[in-house]
Amino acid sequence: MIREILVYPNKILRETSRDVIHFDATLHELLDDMYETMITKEGIGLAAIQIGVAQNALIINLVDETGLQKKENLYEIINPVILEKDGSTVYQEGCLSVPGYYDEVTRAEHIKLRFYDRMGVMHEEEFRDLMAIAVQHEMDHLKGHLFIEKLSYLKRKKFEKEWKKKYKAGK
């Protein structure tokens, strides 16, 4: 089922998510709904809190070298913990909860991540480049943060001014 994506400044986006305890049909339905919602909205990642569910669950499905988003490349990441990170990269990010706004953000270029899949099996994987960026972006959501918080003071003020205009105008 396609769910509504919460849009900034919705206060629920500021909530800190809780660890998933039960790897059951309810979680599987949530992950399936997240995937359907993300694909419909043309995103590459989605955190559960973005659809109003404060659980440490996120999904990422990057576009492959053929330009397609194949479901077999989907990562369902539950209760993630970054074990290591290094390097630095700047990437122009966007967010389904801040539609239509893109800006450059600095993040670690490489991360080592521990997480669980939908069945509760633990994994440790290393990610680089866009996958590392996407994981960090979605993990920020789980902590109640948005990428716009990483902008410089001047860029953030400009964003807030433009966003208020857009928001008042009914998008």
Mean pLDDT estimate for the chain: 96
Q: Of 77, 97, 59, 92, which Cα lies nearest the Cα of 20?
A: 77
Q: Of 83, 65, 61, which Cα lies nearest the Cα of 73?
A: 61
DSSP H/E element including 101: strand 98-107
What does the pLDDT average to over 68-77?
A: 94
SS3 assignment, position 156 = helix
Residues that are catalytic:
138
Fold (topology level) of 11-170: Peptide Deformylase (3.90.45)
Q: Of 3, 8, 4, which Cα lies nearest the Cα of 171?
A: 8
Contact at 8 Å (CB) between 87 and 110? yes
What does the pLDDT average to over 4-28?
A: 97
Q: How far apart are CA 42 and CA 80, in angstroms?
A: 23
User: Residue 95, annotated ligand binder?
Assistant: yes
Q: Is residue 167's pLDDT more than 90?
A: no
Q: How far apart are CA 164 and CA 147, in angstroms?
A: 17
| Main-chain phi, psi angles of 114, to 5 degrees | -110, 130
User: Residue 110, annotated ligand binder?
Assistant: no
Full-model pTM: 0.95
Sole residue written with tokens 């918080």: 149
Q: How confident is the model at residue 169 (pLDDT cuts 50, 70, 90)?
A: confident
CB atoms within 10 A of CB 122: 10
Residue 170 confidence (pLDDT): 67
Question: Domain limits of the chain?
Answer: 11-170
Task: Quick: pLDDT tens for 107-166.
Answer: 999 999 999 999 999 999 999 999 999 999 999 999 999 999 999 999 999 999 999 888
Q: How confident is the model at residue 97 (pLDDT cuts 50, 70, 90)?
A: very high
